[in-house]
């Protein structure tokens, strides 16, 4: 499994680098508009991902929502978010926010113990507010380019919408993820499969209605998702340090996201 995940991570980075190379000389775009020089292959991958979603992920998600009570689903989401806290802390340190990183680490310790492996967000109840950061956001924070300019827009296999900046960030998050490192060292890498599958269903569950609404109201679903993703990631970068909201999925674990990449 380790080799497969490593190969996928390399493919992600390669896609970003190739996209950046091929993008040279493309037409100018309006401020805030996604840069999509690879629109044809992106649309092809989008169609593949959409097919997988239609026949596999969405039906599983609908069954999950119908069969599993909301409190249990909340616990699953909390546990998955808790596993992401170390990456958030590392990103906050990289962004020059040690006090926020300390809060995140404290949240992880409290929720992993008193919160029964993160099933309950006890830390929030005692005043340790949640946040969500990743290395893609870290690049955006330090980059001189506007947050909307993440480089060429990409649609990654299975992971969905991304861009060159966030694809590189995704790779760094994967390599630095303590959960991946620990499961590999303990030879229980199958837990990565479990976590990935649970995360996919959790994200899809929280975006089910929002994405259905976008699909029904848009003339071009691909363009609508591309625009929503670009705007959301720009907002994530601009509002770094803001408390997480439990509001609509597209407005923001932090990543109440469109797609699975970011």
Q: List pLDDT tens digits, range 45-84.
A: 999 999 999 999 999 999 999 999 999 999 999 999 999 9
| pTM for this predicted structure | 0.81
Q: Taking the CA of residue 199 as centre, how many other CA atoms within 13 Å lie in the half-sphere pointing to its CB?
A: 21
The rounded distance, in Å, linking the Cα atoms of 100 and 201 is 29
Q: List pLDDT tens digits, range 174-208.
A: 999 999 999 999 999 999 999 999 999 999 999 99
Torsion of CA 224, 200, 159, 169, to 10 degrees: 100
Instruction: Determine the 3-state secondary structure of 1 from DSSP.
Output: coil
Whether pLDDT at 135 is above 60: yes
């Amino acid at each position: 499994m380790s080799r497969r995940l490593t190969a996928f991570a390399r493919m992600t980075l390669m896609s970003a680098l190739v996209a950046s190379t091929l993008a040279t000389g493309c037409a100018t775009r309006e401020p805030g508009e996604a840069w999509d020089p690879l629109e044809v292959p992106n649309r092809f991958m989008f169609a593949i991902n959409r097919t997988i979603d239609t026949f596999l992920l969405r039906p599983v998600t609908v069954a999950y929502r119908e069969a599993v009570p909301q409190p249990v689903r909340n616990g699953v989401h909390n546990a998955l978010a808790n596993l992401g806290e170390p990456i958030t802390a590392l990103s906050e340190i990289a962004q020059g926010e040690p006090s926020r990183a300390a809060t995140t680490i404290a949240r992880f310790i409290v929720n992993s113990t008193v919160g029964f492996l993160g099933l309950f967000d006890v830390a929030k109840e005692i005043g340790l507010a949640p946040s969500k950061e990743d290395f893609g956001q870290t690049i955006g924070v330090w980059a001189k380019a506007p947050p909307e300019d993440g480089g060429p827009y990409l649609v990654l296999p299975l992971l969905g919408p991304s861009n060159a900046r966030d694809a590189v960030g995704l790779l760094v998050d994967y390599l630095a993820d303590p959960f991946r490192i620990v499961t590999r060292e303990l030879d229980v890498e199958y837990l990565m499969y479990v976590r990935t599958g649970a995360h996919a269903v959790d994200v899809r569950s929280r975006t089910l209605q929002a994405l259905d609404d976008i699909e029904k109201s848009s003339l071009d679903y691909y363009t609508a998702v591309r625009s929503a993703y670009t705007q959301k990631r720009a907002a994530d970068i601009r509002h770094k340090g803001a408390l997480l909201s439990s509001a609509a999925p597209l407005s923001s674990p932090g990543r109440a996201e469109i797609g699975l990449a970011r």
